[in-house]
């Protein structure tokens, strides 16, 4: 059970990395199926040293194939829609002026 979380984390990171490189979702789906088959092939490894070696190799591959400009969701920090339509901050109006700045 201890190797389940690191393997799951690497699997998710692998899928996200493949999504960075795939231009269209249908191309990504084929890569996702291939990545799943690689993880499934090594699912039943019980030797801790061999398991740790596989996790380390996978970590190296993810670092090697890291995208220089990864995809970010538009509304996430760093995305092109992040904080696009913020409400106007309230102004401190001088006494006697109304909502629109008129007396």
pLDDT per position in the chain (103 positions), as tens? 454 589 999 999 999 999 999 988 999 999 999 999 999 999 999 999 999 999 999 999 999 999 998 888 888 888 878 878 777 777 776 666 666 655 5
3-state DSSP call for residue 91? Answer: coil
Would you kindly state where each structural domain of the chain is located, as residue ranges?
4-64
DSSP classification of residue 93: P
CA angle 38, 41, 45 (to 5 degrees): 125
Q: Which residues of 42-55 are buried (b: 16+ CB within 10 A; e: fewer)?
A: eeeeeeeeebeebb
Residue 103: its pLDDT value, please? 54
């Amino acid at each position: 059970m201890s190797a389940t979380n690191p393997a799951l984390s690497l699997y998710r990171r692998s899928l996200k990395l493949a999504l960075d490189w795939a231009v269209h979702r249908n191309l990504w789906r084929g890569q996702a199926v291939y990545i799943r088959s690689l993880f499934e092939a090594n699912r039943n490894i019980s030797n801790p040293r061999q398991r740790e070696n596989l996790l380390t190799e996978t970590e190296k591959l993810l670092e090697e194939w890291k995208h220089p400009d990864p995809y970010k969701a538009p509304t996430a920090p760093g995305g092109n829609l992040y904080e696009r339509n913020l409400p106007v901050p309230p102004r401190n109006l001088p006494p006697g002026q109304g909502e629109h700045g008129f007396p």
